[in-house]
Amino acid sequence: MSVKLTTRQVGDVTVVDAVGRITLGDGASTFRDTVRDLAASGKKKLLLNLAEVSYIDSSGIGEMVSGFTTVTNQGGQVKLLNLTKRVKDLLQITKLYTVFEVFEDEAAAVRSYS
Amino acid sequence: MAEHDRVAAQTVEELLDSTLESVDQAEEIVLRLATTMGFDEDDLHRIGIAVRECMVNAVVHGNRYHSRKKVHLSVSRTPERLEIVIGDEGGSFDVSKLPDPLAEENLLRQSGRGLLMMKAFMDEFQVRQRQPQGTEVRMVKNLAKAG
């Protein structure tokens, strides 16, 4: 199963709910296109809800980093919400846990945006 | 566990096309064998990621999707360990010359984390030149260290 992404607005924060696998091929490109489209349409406060993401490979990680860089360079912020243990392990192995702000509570995450 | 302890040694060999479908196929083959050995869900996940990363390297970077080049997969199980060998028919490369994905200046690079993940998730990891051409990666997961 590839990834399914749906977006919703909570105040001025755009929450992206992801379900499935973010891997090379459809999953990673869907993820990349969605983040780029949101950034292009002026959505600069993105919260990626990964609670239902079962699997991310290095391509998926790469797209997350790329999206982070794109949005940050445009003056926006990308933060992560509800990581599964497996995704958290992956971010720790790759040291990206130090790059992304990670939250377990959506309300707290939404409040954290400047 | 007693049933898993009696698992007989077995080797599966496959010649796979240089396509992304082969990545799924290799993962399925390896996980089918690994499951019979009694690895837990977390270790199956780690083995699956390591195989996918290795296959992607072979298909994309090694064989460059070339229709006449194949990926050579060999999976062997003993009661104690799972050994996976994945070889491509592309060029060779020097692992020591690859950028360190954990260096501060490389953390935001889009690619270059595949080998790191394979090393992290498997107990043994070796890259060698394949004869007559290509690169071969050998990975081992020990059942005793599972979990």
Domain boundaries, chain B: 2-145
Give the pLDDT confidence score for residue B88 in this predicted structure. 97
The pLDDT value given to residue A114: 74
The pLDDT score that the predictor gives to residue B6 is 60
Mean pLDDT over the full length of chain B: 92
Q: Residue B89 above 70 pLDDT?
A: yes
Q: How far apart are CA B13 and CA B19, in angstroms?
A: 17
Given this model, what pLDDT does residue A54 score? 86
Mutate to test the interface with A, among B53, B110, B118 (most CBs of A within 10 A): B110
Cross-chain Cβ contact B53/A57 below 8 Å: yes
3-state percent breakdown (helix, strand, coil) of chain B, nearest 5: 40, 25, 35
Cross-chain residue pair A86–B42, CB shorter than 8 Å: yes
| Lowest-pLDDT range of A9-13, B3-7, B40-44, B93-97 | B3-7
CA distance B111 to chain A (A): 6
Q: Evaluate if pTM is beyond 0.95.
A: no
Asked if residue B135 lies in contact with residue B129, where contact means CB atoms within 8 angstroms, the answer is yes
ipTM value, please give it: 0.86
Mean pLDDT of B121-130: 96
Report the distance separating Cα A14 and Cα A21, nearest Å: 21
Q: Which numeric CATH code is attached to B2-145?
A: 3.30.565.10
**CB-CB: which of A24, A55, A69 is closest to B20?**
A24
SS3 sequence of chain A: CCCEEEEEEECCEEEEEEEEEECCCHHHHHHHHHHHHHHHCCCCEEEEEEEEEEEECHHHHHHHHHHHHHHHHCCCEEEEECCCHHHHHHHHHCCHHHCCEEECCHHHHHHCCC
CATH for A4-105 (3.40.50.150, 3.40.50.300, 3.30.750.24, 3.40.50.2300):
3.30.750.24
The pLDDT of residue B8 is above 90: no
| Rounded distance between C-alpha atoms, residue B5 and residue B58, angstroms | 33
The strand pairing partners of B14, in sequence order, are B73
Q: What is the pLDDT of residues B31-52, one digit of tens each?
A: 999 999 999 999 999 999 999 9
Q: Which residues of chain A have pLDDT under 70?
A: 1
**pLDDT at position B147, please?**
45
pLDDT band at B1 (very low <50, low <70, confident <90, very high): very low
* Contacts A–B by Cβ distance under 8 A: 52
Burial class (CB in 10 A: 0-12, 13-18, 19+), A11: exposed
A58:B107 CB<8 A: no
A63: contact with B, CB 8 A cutoff: yes
- Chain B residues with CB under 8 Å of a chain A CB are 20, 23, 42, 45, 49, 52-53, 56, 60, 101-102, 107-111, 113-114, 116-117, 120
What pLDDT is stored for residue B2 in this prediction? Answer: 45
